Each structure stands twice: as C-alpha cells, then as structure tokens.
Amino acid sequence: MTETTAATPKKKNSGFSLGHLLLEGRAFLALIAIIAVFSYYSPNYFTVSNFLIMSSQVAIYGILSIGMLLVILNGGIDLSVGSILALAGVCAGAMMQGITLDAAGVILYPPVWAVVVLTLCVGAAVGALNGVLIAIFKVPPFVATLGVMYVARGVALLMTNGLTYNNLRGKAEFGNTGFSWLGFNRLWGIPISVIVLATVAILAGLMLSRSAFGRWLYASGGNERAAELSGVPVRRVKIVVYTLSGMLSAVAGLVLASQLTSAGPTAGTTYELTAIAAVVIGGAALTGGRGNVRGTMLGAFVIGFLSAGLVIVGVSSYWQTVFTGAVIVLAVLMNSLQYGRGGRKS
C-alpha cells in the first residue's frame, strides 16, 4: 500500500529584498544620487534658489510627461507632443500679436485668458485627432502620432513663415498684458510654472486612483480585449487619453512661451523623447497598464536635475547627451528586469 501526500505549494519569499527595493525605488534613488554628486562638485547646486530655478525648467518636461504617461498606460505612444507644444506656442503668439480682420479693417487683441483658453482648445483638438485616428480608424499609434507630429510642426512653420513671435508681454493700451505671468511670477516664493505642474500632477493622480476613468485606463492598457468584454468603453478612453495629452502639451507650450516671452515653430524639438524617457525612468511599462504619476514626476526631475547639474559643473553638451542616453537605457533595462520576471498579468 502506497501513501500519497498532497503537494504543498512553496510560499513566496515575503522578506526584505534589496533587489526589489532598488527596482521599485530606482527613480527616487537616482534623484538623490544626482543631487548628492552635483552638490559635492558645485556649492551653487544645493541651494533653494537653484532648486526653484531647476524645478521651473522641469515643469515643462513634467507636464508633457504626465500626458505621455496617460497614453503609455493605455498601451500607446504619442510622438506629437513636442510639435503640439510648438503649435500651441505659435497660436498664442499670433493672438498676442493681434488678429487682423481684413474685411473689417481692424486688429483684435484678445485678453490673455482668451488666448489661454483658445490655445488649450487647439491642443485638445490636435490630440483628439490622434485619438480618432487610433481608436476609430485603427491607425497604429506610432504611425498616427508621427504623421500628426509633422503636420502640427508644418502648420506652425506656415503660420510664422519660419520666424519667431517676440515680445509677448503685451501692451497695456491693447488690454492684453499678463502673458509673462506664467513664466516669471511667483506665488509664496514658488514659480507659477511649478505650481501649475503640481496642480496637474495632483489632478492626474486623483483621476488615475479615484475615478472610474482611471480604472478603465489601467484595464484597457493591461488587456484591451478583456476590458472591452468587461464593458469598458475602450474607444472613448483612447480618444480622451490622446485629447488630454494634446491639452497638456498646449499647457507646456504656454508655460515655455511665457518663460521665453517668445514663440517659435522649432520649439519642443525632441521633447517627445524626453517625455517618454521620464515615464520609463519613473517605472511605467511601455506595454501599458503599469505606471503612476509619482514615478513619472521623479523621472522628469531626474532628467531635469541631471541636465542642469551637468551644465553647472561645466560638462560639454555632447557629454550631456551621452549621460542622458545612458540613464534612459539603464531605466529601460531595469524595467525589463522588473516586469520580465513576473510577466504581465492578463
């Protein structure tokens, strides 16, 4: 007579894992390491004023990165964010310079609030175009956003004839002053652009964690077919995600144009790659369904503080590109290690 014993499953190791800690907290640890290294090499780096200046510059990348995060969570990609940023800035610049009505023989100078609202509508419209092409006409996200990237950049060039709109501060007699408020003013000592970034990050975080749309987004990004069978409005989620990405690109365009008090059609070149890099460094999976706003913000600050630190210590711009690329490759490698071990849940 033989005895049979039921096989007992092995318990997963729930103890402390240094490797797991390094993978989960890599963006935060990288940011701390960057601050420590550059503070050692430059006494001007670790100062409140320098951190505020760097944060103001990071705000543009951060706002773009939040929009990119939403798209990547959905399992897509948006290569048009840099071009939408440029188009939004050019549209704002054109309105600040005055809208000529040839038929009536007058020039209209919209107030700044109207300029902001109309510019956001332009960004949302271009983003919605991406969403419709991808969700309704089934164009692959890479191809659709690549095409829109060229179209948006081309329209910006046509509007300006390749030139730049300068001196966007406005004039009191035309009632359109205040555009530089976003880029130069401070509230409680904090740059307005940083406050805008914090507001966008908080709203996006609440949307992802506390709303039905956030659950739909994670579900459709993790397994689109299963989400559709479960009643998730997959098409609507796609269109909304790309619309939000376009709108946030317009916000970043307004902040950049305000900081420079000028707007040109070549602004935002390669910014889409920086936004993707920030999302990846923050731990999001390019396959969709994994990632959060906190990690993306850390990724944006890693890139921004690294670039600023290299400038402060006098590193060549060529080496800056090398270091930034190395950080991105390392982040992708660590993402592969993190998500490759357990696999994706479907």
* Whole-Å CA distances, 119 to 97, 210, 233, 337: 14, 29, 28, 41
CA distance 224 to 202: 26
Tell me what pLDDT residue 22 has: 60
* CA neighbor of 297 nearest in space, from 317, 320, 281, 321: 281
DSSP state letter for 71: H
Q: Of 66, 64, 87, give the one whose Cα is nearest residue 159.
A: 87
CB atoms near residue 20 (< 10 Å): 13
Model pLDDT, residue 65? 95
Percent of the chain scoring above 90 in pLDDT: 46
Please provide the average confidence, as pLDDT, over all residues in the chain: 86
Geometric angle at alpha carbon 177, from 173 and 179, rounded to 5°: 160
Mean pLDDT of 69-95: 94
How many other C-beta atoms are found inside a 10 Å radius of the C-beta of residue 27? Answer: 24
Tokens standing for 339? 């998500």
**Residue 344 clears pLDDT 70, i.e. is over it:** no
pLDDT at 235: 94
> Among candidates 345, 230, 327, which has minimal Cα distance to 281?
327
Name which of 185-189, 201-205, 265-269, 272-276 the model is least confident about. 185-189
pLDDT beyond 70 at 13:
no
Q: pLDDT digits over 87-140, tens only?
A: 999 999 988 887 777 666 677 778 889 999 999 999 999 999 999 999 999 999
Residue of 338 and 280 predicted with greater confidence: 280
CB 20 within 8 A of CB 157: no
The mean pLDDT value for 159-176 works out to: 82
> Is 50 exceeded by the pLDDT of residue 213?
yes
Q: Packing angle between helix 48-73 and helix 81-97, nearest 10 degrees?
A: 120
Examine the pLDDT at 79 and tell me if it is beyond 90.
yes
Least confident of 4-8, 243-247, 258-262: 4-8
Using CA atoms, how far apart are residues 48 and 302, in angstroms rounded to an integer? 17
> Taking 80 as the threshold, does the pLDDT of residue 168 lie above it?
yes
pLDDT at 85: 96
Under the banding of pLDDT at 50, 70 and 90, the label for residue 216 is very high
Residue 5 clears pLDDT 60, i.e. is over it: no
pLDDT of residue 343: 43
User: Are 272 and 127 contacting, i.e. CB atoms less than 8 angstroms apart?
Assistant: no
Cα 159 to Cα 11, 85, 87, 246, 272, distances in angstroms = 64, 14, 9, 19, 22
pLDDT higher than 50, residue 56: yes
User: Does 193 score more than 50 pLDDT?
Assistant: yes
Residue 4 has pLDDT above 60, yes or no: no
User: Average of pLDDT values for 56-69?
Assistant: 94
* Crossing angle between the packed helical segments 26-41 and 317-342, to the nearest 10 degrees: 160
For the record, the structure tokens of 170 come out as 């406005």
